[in-house]
Structure 1
Amino acid sequence: MITIAGAGVAGLCVALELARRGHQVTVFEQGESLELNQSSHLAGGMLAPWCEKVSAPEDVVRLGAGAADWWAKVTEVQRTGTLVVAPPRDQAELRQFASRTEQYEQLGDNRIADLEPDLAGRFSKALFFNQECHLDPRQARQDLVRQIEELGGEVRFGEPAPERVDIDCRGGAVDLPELRMVRGEMVMLECPDVTITRTVRLLHPRIPIYLVPRGNGIYMLGATMVESDSWRAISLRSALELLGAAFALHPGFGEASVIETGVGLRPAFPDNLPRIIKRDETYHLNGFYRHGYLLAPAMAQRLADQFEQEQMKCAS
């Protein structure tokens, strides 16, 4: 049996990858439910390697290229692309964004209106990344647990991991060299009067945001990345900036209901890329920064390969 600590997105992806290869896996999660793992629970769920390329290492694109196909075997993936817009006064931000990435189509106002009618007349130019996708992180982790259990694995909630496990994916709960916490804040809105069907990124020099539709008039709104390990509730400044940016995207959000706010601490290494570290007899998978759902599939496959290779060496 392979023991895994942590039922965040990384731990569950590793468990499923190993279970698919015929291994018996047990995942230990100290929290009583999936919702208590804040980083994975509050994530945007964007599978957007080309947008992330603007501020992330090239490895993010390479590792994230197959994420959508991997996830499509687990949960529903919305293959509707990402639309990147900017207010007229911030067109320089849009040009700068375009210069740092690729795999996009430049759109004018008519094409923007075709893709998102509720944004008609609001933006004259946009970038459209038609290969990008998004998923619902909360549903995705439920589906991960279900598939692990269907393959004979076990996820034990409310049970701390034993002192020694084979694989440790507990994020900030583990002391690893150079690992730091990055604070992310989000707001969930209910706004049935606005219909947006794909992830939209609104560029702004101070507070760029992303808006991810969850269906039935529910939208996840996020942006803030703060170098902090504080769990305190969302700050007034962050909430005002997020909500003001949503209003700038579409004034209909002025009538939205705020149904949830949240704060998550995302573990990251200095290069903001995840790492596999073997310490004593335990493999540690950690440091996903803001790319958990995008990079977890590739890193889970890589860790499963290493684990199996090590087992073969020991057997021989």
Structure 2
Amino acid sequence: MPAPSRSITVLGAGILGLWQALILARAGHRVRLVEASEEPFADCASLYAAVMLAPDREAENAPPMLRQLGREGVGLWKGFYPQLKANGSLVVAAARDRGELDRFARRTQGHRLVDAGELANLEPDLHDRFTAALYFPEEAHMPAPAALAFMLAEVQRAGVEIAFGQADAGDGADLVVDCRGLAARDALPDLRGVRGERILIRTREVKLRRPVQLLHPRVPLYVVPWDEGLYMIGATLIESDEAGPMTVRSALELLGGAYAVHPAFSEAEILDLGAAVRPAFPDNVPRALVRDSGRRIYVNGAYRHGFLLAPVLARAVAAYIEDGTASELVVTSGL
């Protein structure tokens, strides 16, 4: 027999909170989504994400379970978001850094090595730029602003009550799902901030269909094609809680890396230089922590995997609320 409908308050309207609100509303619960900022995504680290759904590439530095869960996340996005760009991704390296490409190949799965000829077929604008690449055909990407706007519209369509510019803690609800990121550090002291910086540029001189990750011993980066000639260049990873403007050093490194991918990026317009601080647990794995005798669930630690695992986390939390189903993403110790 299904569990009765509950009154649930979701705190935080980033990618984690949006997915939680949507799945819980579709499960029949009465959901209220509360966001402290007055405008959607005004203070949201999710807006700065490159949104590469890349479980195979992320496996280089992630626990094995994240690869399988990430593949589930890609599948959920493919069945949900019609504008998802499922063109795979490429990993390249300069000829002098071929050892980096070989090392990356050994530490990841789901790819095949392509030579210069096949690379030119996949991305004609990279013709003569690189002698080989790793092609990850099952990966996907999407622009963060469009994806977040779509999610918000779907949450509204599901009947969720949305309150912007509110500091409501959900005290009157049966259950609170807290997705506030670093703002929840008063209750989750092991959270830390990881600063990421990125540059948004526009050019008509380069046409890429899929993300390109450039391996470099010092400054690895990625170039992600959005729409209408827009590209996101990212991203530095700095162990810091500082959310201030991008540094000159980071800008030079990112722009220099983009030039290494294709010299025509040197003529691109710079539209925005931004930085955000993302929450991470010590092991960099996001999870849902059940507290207060099951009345509050903290969904946090998204770090690099927010968009990828948000739908998986939402399903896991919904299953736990429904019948207490445990999973590797739902932690009940200290309940």
- TM > 0.5 fold call: yes
Q: Percent identity?
A: 43
**Residue among 282, 303, 316 paired with 1:302:** 316
Conserved? CA contact 2:212–2:222, under 8 Å: yes
Please give the per-residue CA displacement for 1:86-109, whole angstroms capped at 9, x wherever unaligned.
011100000000000111010000
Q: Secondary structure at the match of 1:220?
A: strand
**Residue among 226, 232, 242 paired with 2:244:** 232
Counterparts of 1:169 and 1:24, CA distance in 2: 17
Q: Which amino acid aligns with 1:26?
A: R
**Residue among 163, 173, 188 paired with 2:183:** 173
Conserved? CA contact 1:38–1:263, under 8 Å: no
Q: Which amino acid aligns with 2:77?
A: W
- Greater displacement, 68-77 / 45-54: 68-77
2:93 aligned partner: 86
Aligned residue pair count: 311
TM-score, length basis structure 1: 0.95
Q: Secondary structure at the match of 1:162?
A: coil
Is 1:134 aligned to residue 136 of structure 2? Answer: no
Conserved? CA contact 2:9–2:170, under 8 Å: no
RMSD: 1.4
Stretches of 4+ aligned residues off by more than 6 angstroms: none
Conserved? CA contact 1:82–1:200, under 8 Å: yes
Q: Secondary structure at the match of 1:178?
A: coil
Shift of 1:31: 0.8
Is 1:45 aligned to residue 45 of structure 2? Answer: no
Shift of 1:24: 1.9
1:284 aligned partner: 298
Q: Which amino acid aligns with 2:25?
A: A
Q: Secondary structure at the match of 1:111?
A: helix
Q: Which amino acid aligns with 2:183?
A: A
Counterparts of 2:96 and 2:227, CA distance in 1: 31
Shift of 1:69: 2.5
1:314 aligned partner: none
Is 1:113 aligned to residue 120 of structure 2? Answer: yes
Is 1:66 aligned to residue 72 of structure 2? Answer: yes
Counterparts of 1:94 and 1:207, CA distance in 2: 14
Shift of 1:68: 2.3
**Residue among 141, 150, 160 paired with 1:153:** 160
1:162 aligned partner: 169
Shift of 1:22: 1.7
Shift of 1:161: 2.5
- Greater displacement, 35-44 / 230-239: 35-44
Q: Which amino acid aligns with 1:121?
A: D
Counterparts of 1:75 and 1:290, CA distance in 2: 23
Structure 2: gaps of 5 or more residues: 1-6, 326-335
Conserved? CA contact 1:19–1:151, under 8 Å: yes
Please give the per-residue CA displacement for 1:147-198, whole angstroms capped at 9, x wherever unaligned.
1111211222112232536110000001203111100000001111110110
Conserved? CA contact 1:190–1:217, under 8 Å: yes
Conserved? CA contact 2:41–2:47, under 8 Å: yes
Structure 1: gaps of 5 or more residues: 312-316
